């Protein structure tokens, strides 16, 4: 299986920064992130991943998203030797040439370890940061994103190229890296997002929270890819997991409970969910499921709304329960597990063998402790079971993911 580490500054629990093992004063320290990335590399992870959103969310998520991904990954390239380096870019508010240049540079300097997480962003607040009044509709965003990625391919290949939005007039000055070009990563649960994944993505982050919905997502995206002429092995599906790890099951659960005790609620959970959905939820019965059909149409976050609806229906959650869970998880719709390394490995193996995942995007609740716990307590169990590598067999991100080198395909 494949393992990817999310490099969120203090981890994926909203109170992670308050835990005694946390060092929030170091989140602008290059050594801090280098230590985390080096630990993940010691654990033979495929890649580290940096999310990004070009807007400040105030106190919703304290002490996160403080550094620009490409700058940070460039620093990590010099401090690591094998692990992949994936950064996020919004296709809605950037231009292909600048993105192609920046990621081609990272790919060359890292020896072929770069990946680009392509997002379309969400919300009018982001639009205003780029001088626009409102955010485009989902269809427009995904159409632009698809043409954006096609243009990246042309730029990285040195081809002349024109589509309805972009034009490459002259060959680019960049040579293929050892992996040919950066790996394309994507996340999206809406029909448009799934089509985008099937068309372009080589790795997909998803918010599957149970084995059945993991199986559904994996099969659907891979079937779409096959219908477009791609091999199902050319796209890796990586659900997120938030692991609370202890020497005993009780210790793992105690860590989760400790973080909950540290958490401060600055806003009513239902009101906070209303902000996420762009709707006033005060008129709905908090002890009944949220009637999503009665919400106003939104211009942003379609994938997120679909995931929330699916989660509500599959888990039979009341509005209050949904809001409470989202507050605890910083709004992340991911599978959460508490227990020993052996127990967490059991769960990963169950998902993997059931066909619900090609691997996992690991979102530890605490940095730097979380990645050390995972590497020291979960990875060895997976290795003993023959489910995870015992050494890197190649030097590039494509090698780790078992993906073809496009530059070699062009010359074949």
Is pLDDT above 70 for 66? no
Mean pLDDT of 184-192: 87
- pLDDT value of residue 103: 96
- pLDDT value of residue 409: 62
pTM: 0.84
- pLDDT value of residue 189: 78
**Domains of the chain with CATH codes:** 2-248+333-411 (3.20.20.30)
Q: Which residue has the higher pLDDT, 233 or 58?
A: 233
- pLDDT value of residue 410: 60
CA distance 51 to 174: 26
Of the candidates 1, 300, 26, the residue with the CA atom closest to the CA atom of residue 10: 26
CA distance 241 to 142: 26
Q: Which residue has the higher pLDDT, 172 or 102?
A: 102
Greatest C-alpha distance within the chain: 62
Contact, 123 vs 94, CB < 8 A? no
Classify 177 as helix, strand or coil. strand
Long-range contacts of 260-269 (CB under 8 A, 24+ apart): 260/15, 260/328, 262/15, 262/18, 262/19, 263/13, 263/14, 263/15, 263/18, 263/327, 263/328, 264/15, 265/327, 266/59, 269/320, 269/323, 269/324, 269/326, 269/327
- pLDDT value of residue 36: 96
- pLDDT value of residue 326: 72
Contact, 188 vs 194, CB < 8 A? yes
Classify 334 as helix, strand or coil. coil
Is pLDDT above 50 for 335? yes
Q: Which two tokens stand for residue 64?
A: 């996160």
Tens of pLDDT along 264-317?
655 577 887 887 777 888 889 989 999 888 887 654 446 667 778 877 888 888
Q: Which residue has the higher pLDDT, 201 or 63?
A: 201
Angle at 302 between CA 296 and CA 304, to 5 degrees: 110
Mean pLDDT of 310-325: 83
Q: Which two tokens stand for residue 115?
A: 């990946």
- pLDDT value of residue 209: 79
Pure H helices in 43-175: 69-77, 96-109, 124-129, 138-157
Q: What's the full length of the chain, in residues? A: 412
Contact, 249 vs 338, CB < 8 A? yes
- pLDDT value of residue 299: 42
Of the candidates 334, 347, 264, 181, the residue with the CA atom closest to the CA atom of residue 15: 264
Tens of pLDDT along 2-11?
999 999 888 8
Tell me the average pLDDT of the chain. Answer: 88
Tens of pLDDT along 207-236?
887 899 899 999 999 999 999 999 999 999
- pLDDT value of residue 1: 97
Confidence of residue 333 (pLDDT cuts 50, 70, 90): low
Of the candidates 26, 23, 105, the residue with the CA atom closest to the CA atom of residue 71: 105
Mean pLDDT of 90-119: 94
Strands 2-6 and 183-187: what pairing? unpaired
DSSP conformation class of 223:
H
Q: Which residue has the higher pLDDT, 135 or 329?
A: 135
The answer for residues whose C-beta is within 8 angstroms of residue 55's C-beta and 6 or more apart is 123, 125, 126, 129
- pLDDT value of residue 169: 85
Instruction: Give the DSSP H or E segment for 339.
Output: strand 335-339
Mean pLDDT of 24-38: 92
Tens of pLDDT along 339-384?
999 999 999 999 999 999 999 999 999 999 999 999 999 999 999 9
- pLDDT value of residue 14: 77
CA dihedral sign of residues 153, 156, 161, 165: positive
Supply the Cα-derived Rg of the chain in whole angstroms: 21
Contact, 197 vs 221, CB < 8 A? yes
Q: Which residue has the higher pLDDT, 165 or 125?
A: 165
Tens of pLDDT along 243-273?
999 999 999 999 998 987 887 655 577 887 8
- pLDDT value of residue 212: 92
Strands 183-187 and 236-245: what pairing? unpaired
Q: Which residue has the tokens 């960049």?
A: 174
């Amino acid at each position: 299986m494949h393992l990817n580490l999310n490099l969120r500054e203090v981890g994926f629990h909203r109170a992670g920064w308050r835990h005694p093992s946390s060092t929030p004063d170091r989140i602008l320290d290059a050594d801090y992130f280098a230590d985390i990335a080096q630990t993940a590399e010691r654990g033979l992870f495929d890649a580290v991943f940096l999310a990004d959103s070009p807007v400040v969310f105030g106190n919703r998520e304290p002490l996160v998203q403080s550094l620009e991904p490409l700058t940070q990954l460039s620093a990590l390239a010099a401090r690591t030797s094998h692990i992949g380096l994936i950064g996020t870019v919004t296709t809605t508010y950037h231009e292909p040439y600048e993105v192609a240049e920046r990621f081609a540079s990272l790919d060359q300097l890292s020896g072929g370890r770069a990946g680009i997480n392509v997002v379309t962003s969400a919300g009018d607040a982001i639009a205003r940061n780029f001088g626009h009044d409102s955010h485009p509709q989902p269809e427009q965003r995904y159409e632009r994103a698809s043409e954006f990625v096609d243009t990246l391919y042309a730029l990285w290949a040195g081809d002349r190229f024109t589509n309805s939005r972009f034009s490459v007039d002259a060959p680019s000055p960049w040579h293929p890296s050892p992996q040919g070009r950066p790996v394309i990563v994507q996340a999206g649960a809406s029909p448009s997002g799934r089509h985008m994944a099937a068309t372009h993505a080589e790795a997909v982050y998803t918010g599957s929270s149970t084995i059945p919905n993991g199986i559904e997502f994996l099969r659907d995206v891979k079937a779409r890819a096959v219908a477009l002429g791609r091999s199902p092995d050319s796209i890796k599906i990586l659900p997120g997991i938030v692991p609370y790890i202890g020497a005993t099951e009780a210790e793992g659960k105690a860590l989760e409970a400790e973080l909950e005790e540290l958490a401060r609620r600055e806003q009513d959970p239902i009101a906070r969910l209303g902000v996420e959905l762009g709707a006033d939820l005060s008129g709905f019965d908090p002890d009944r499921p949220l009637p999503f059909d009665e919400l106003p149409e939104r211009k942003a976050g379609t994938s997120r709304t679909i995931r929330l609806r699916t989660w509500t229906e599959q888990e039979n959650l009341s509005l209050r329960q949904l809001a409470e869970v989202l507050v605890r998880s910083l709004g992340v719709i991911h599978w959460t597990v508490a227990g020993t390394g052996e127990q967490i490995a059991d769960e990963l193996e169950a998902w993997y063998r059931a066909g619900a995942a090609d691997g996992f995007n690991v979102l530890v609740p605490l940095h730097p402790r979380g990645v050390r716990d995972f590497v020291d307590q979960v990875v060895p169990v997976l290795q003993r079971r023959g489910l995870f590598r015992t050494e890197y067999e190649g030097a590039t991100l494509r090698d780790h993911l078992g993906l073809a080198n496009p530059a070699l395909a062009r010359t074949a």
